[in-house]
Structure 1
Amino acid sequence: MQRMLCLLLAAAALCGCADGERYRLSGSVEGAEGVLLLTNLCTSEVDSARVDPKGRFRFEGRLSEAAPALLRSADGRFATRLFLEPGSIELSGRASEPMGIRPAGTPANEALGRLRDSVTLISHLAFERQDSAYRALERRCMEANRDNLLGATLLSYNIAEELSPREVLACIDRFPARMQQHRLLAELKQRALQALKSEPGEPYTEIVQPAPDGTPLSLRETVQKPSNRYVLVEFWASWCGPCMKEVPYLKQAYERYRPLGLEIYAVSFDRDRDAWLGAIRQHDLRWLQVSELKHFDNSAAHDYAIRSIPSNLLIDTQSGTIVDRNLRGERLGRRLEELMGQH
């Protein structure tokens, strides 16, 4: 359930507005008292309002662009999220049940309110059914809201991560033309077009980054080394739990297929040099290691459209093309066995 709350409203910027369009936010949250704080999550601007004796509150302001926002009590008793967009927005609910606080009044907030109602129903299902039920709900909600920000946000921040670049582009094409021009979908389209360049069958893109000793290490030189038949480019970080769970599979593959011509070129998205080098030592990672120590601002992340880790791609050194990607867990060993034979 947190997937919806974290990703749905984490958009850095939403639809553009005419300069100075007004929003009005009012409502009544049972149990709220004292001062409420409204934070525009795009600009970090904070406004405040006091809850009146009847439990109501009101905010007004101007927007240069619509944005996600966080409304919370100064005493920390509750917090809820919503969209700031031109028009009148109404909130209602209980401070003791933040997920039940319902936004309404403007298109994206009306749709968000309906989605929250549906999520509440899913939360009563057996745990093992919740994930599939929510994913199905996301798809239905996106289809029903292609004409507003909720549909675009669901695709960009939730659904796109499960689709191939071609599927993302096809999905964007089904939005109305005016929504396709929206910055959220325009940026998603650019990422998908970039990601197409790292699909199987495409030539690899060069990477040159510092090795642990500070010397530049080239992917091209690794690919062109005569003894290497396949190069696995592995994107990871020491702070990434799922990445570290992949280590046993990587070590097993490296031990088995290194003599047959496998090399691993690992690109770390760490920021902290000591943490990066410590993980290499602690886990005895004997393959090639590079990092710019720039987190997701790593140049290779942009070139290969990497938005989450762990992630990888496998390069055939004879053709210089990508033959597979996102080989995780036991799938890595099975794919290498197909390509390189048993050992």
Structure 2
Amino acid sequence: MRRTLYALLATAALCSCAADGSYTLDGTVEGVEGTLYLTDLFTSRIDSARADANGHFRFSGQVSEATPALLRSTDGRFTTRLFLEPGSIELQGKIFEPMGIRLAGTPSNEALGRFRDSITELSHLAFERQDSAFRALERRTIAANRDNMLGVTLLAYNLADELKASEMLEEIGRFPAHMQEQRMLSELKRMALQGLKTEPGQPYTEIVQPAPDGTPLKLSSLIGEPATRYVLVEFWASWCRPCMNEVPYLKAAYERFHPLGLEIYGVSFDREREPWLAAIRDEGLKWPQVSELKHFDNSAARDYAVRSIPSNLLIDTRSGRIVATNLRGERLEKRLEELLGR
């Protein structure tokens, strides 16, 4: 999906480290009234403070390491992201001008301010050029900020799903050793190492989860079918709109290529049984389905380093190896046509 500049900015956050763990956040947001809430996104810890008649507020606290945070008003009319890091953080802005929020006072928030300015400069471009321009900007910004959390956060939030596991490890290796110990980069590295096992050419990993009738269904049981030449493992959920948007492509591919040796093994990240079963029934999904009903706390998500859905991988049953990943939309039928013909 095309990302607007504001949506991209909403996910852009950064942080930095210092010797002392204490911080203060002094802010003035014109038009803000009442209570403001500050949420530490690593720990879900919430603090609150009241804005005075001029929209001024102040928070103080301690962090064990620099952490992403969300600041919002009670009525929801104001929200912005920042990073809590040791030092004095300053915030200025107006309630209905999210692109104009100014952050300063600490290294990472200074960098965020510069990054926001650069994004604003892209607004004069034609809409169809904004996305490619932003991608180039974030690449440059990551390269220039490997010594602080701006680079880490942009890598984690904006590029992680676009890079292969081997490419992610190369990116992580470009950060200084002390930055690689930060929890976000450490988790990215762990997932990338796991993801190496799922790149094309690697052997598949077994999945055993309950089918809709409650009986365990092994992935290997489908791969072992003599008539099956390829198995598409599809990670999805009934609550995931992009996943449901892929259903017509999956159904078309299944109808066309199932007689030629294609099977699909659906792994749902649903939380509740009824919505999962309703989606299978209402959408007419004819291929085998399994789910642990644990959302992203799914064993297959860990084994295959699934960070987002929809996601899939294609397994050659003769070799037991992965031959393609993330075949979305029309690319699915095109790849199957190359492999199965017709």
- State whether TM-score is above 0.5: yes
Give the Cα separation in 1 of the matches to 2:35 and 2:258.
63
| Kept after mapping to 1: 8 A contact 2:16/2:149 | yes
Asked if residue 99 in structure 1 is aligned to residue 103 in structure 2, the reply is no
Amino acid at match of 1:94: K
Partner of 2:305: helix, strand, or coil?
coil
SS of residue in 2 equivalent to 1:129 = helix
Supply the distance in 2 between the matched residues of 1:312 and 1:294 (Cα, whole angstroms). 18
Distance across 1 between alignment mates of 2:47 and 2:257: 59
Per-residue deviation at 1:58?
2.6
**2:36 matched to which residue of 1?**
36
- Measured after TM superposition, the shift of residue 302 of structure 1 is 0.8
- Cα RMSD of the aligned pairs, angstroms, is 2.1
SS of residue matched to 1:297: coil
**Alignment match, 2:317:** 317
Contact in 1 for aligned 2:16/2:107 (Cα 8 Å): no
Moved more, 203-212 or 324-333: 324-333
Looking at structure 2, the residues matched to 256 and 53 of structure 1 have their Cα atoms a distance apart, in angstroms, of 66
**Deviation by residue 1:173-206 (Cα, 9 ceiling, x = unmatched):** 1111211222211110110111110111100000
Instruction: State the Cα distance separating 1:227 from its structure 2 match.
Output: 1.6
After superposition, the Cα gap between the structure-2 partners of 1:309 and 1:52, relative to the gap in structure 1 and judged at 3 Å, is closer
- Unpaired runs of 5+ residues, structure 2, are none
Aligned to 1:302: 302
Q: Whole-Å Cα distance in 1 between the matches of residues 35 and 280 of structure 2?
A: 49
Question: Which residue number in structure 2 is paired with residue 286 of structure 1?
Answer: 286
Structure 1 counterpart of 2:262: 262
Secondary structure of residue in 1 paired with 2:213: coil
- Name the residue aligned to 1:23: 23
Letter in 2 for 1:7: T
How far is the alpha carbon of 1:246 from its aligned partner?
1.8
* Cα distance in 2 for residues equivalent to 1:70 and 1:96: 16
| Stretch moving more, 94-103 or 225-234 | 94-103
Kindly indicate whether residue 333 of structure 2 is the aligned counterpart of residue 330 of structure 1.
Answer: no
CA offsets 1:116-163 (integer angstroms, 9 cap, x no match): 112222234322122112111111111111110111111011112111
Alpha-carbon spacing, 1:289–1:52, altered in 2? closer, same or farther (3 Å): closer
Q: Which residue matches 1:129?
A: 129
Kindly, what percent of the aligned residue pairs are identical? 69
Residue 195 (structure 1) aligns with: 195
Q: Is the 8 A contact 2:17 2:85 kept in 1?
A: no
Aligned to 2:185: 185
Q: Distance in 1 between matches of 2:316 and 2:136?
A: 37
1:72 is displaced (CA, Å) by 3.0
Q: In the alignment, residue 297 of structure 1 is paired with which amino acid?
A: D
SS in 2 for 1:225: coil
Residue deviations 1:84-131 (CA, integer Å, cap 9, x gap)? 100111111222313311111111100111111122222343221221
| Number of the residue aligned with 1:148 | 148
1:240 aligns with 2:205: no
Over 3 Å counting, the alpha-carbon distance change for 1:235 and 1:43 in structure 2 is closer
Q: Distance in 1 between matches of 2:34 and 2:271?
A: 41
Where 1:295 maps in the other structure, the secondary structure is coil
Greater displacement, 108-117 / 71-80? 71-80
2:276 aligned with 1:272: no
Q: How far is 1:52 from its partner?
A: 4.7
Instruction: From 7, 17, 31, give the equivalent of 2:11.
Output: 7
Are 1:218 and 2:218 matched, yes or no?
A: yes
Q: Distance in 2 between matches of 1:76 and 1:6?
A: 15
Structure 1 unaligned segments of length 5 or more: list them: none
2: distance between equivalents of 1:329 and 1:26?
A: 47
Q: Deviations over 1:252-288 (max 9, x none)?
A: 2222222222111111111121111111111211111
**Contact 1:17–1:63 (CA under 8 A) maintained in structure 2:** no
Letter in 1 for 2:123: S
Letter in 1 for 2:161: E
- Name which of structure 1's ranges 237-246 and 275-284 shifts more when overlaid on structure 2: 237-246
Separation of aligned partners in 2, 1:55 and 1:231: 58
1:111 corresponds to which residue? 111
Separation of aligned partners in 2, 1:81 and 1:103: 10
Compute the displacement of 1:341 (Å): 1.9
Rounded to whole Å, the distance in 2 between the matches of 1:52 and 1:308 is 41
Alignment check: 8 A CA contact 2:68 2:84 kept: yes
Question: How far, CA to CA, are the matches of 1:247 and 1:49 in structure 2?
Answer: 46
- 2:157 & 2:27 partners in 1: Cα distance? 28
2:113 counterpart SS class: helix
CA distance in 2, matches of 1:194, 1:216: 24
| TM-score computed with the length of structure 1 as normaliser | 0.91
What count of residue pairs does the alignment treat as equivalent?
338
Give the partner amino acid of 1:32.
V
Q: Distance in 1 between matches of 2:75 and 2:320?
A: 59
* Letter of the structure 1 residue corresponding to residue 125 of structure 2: L
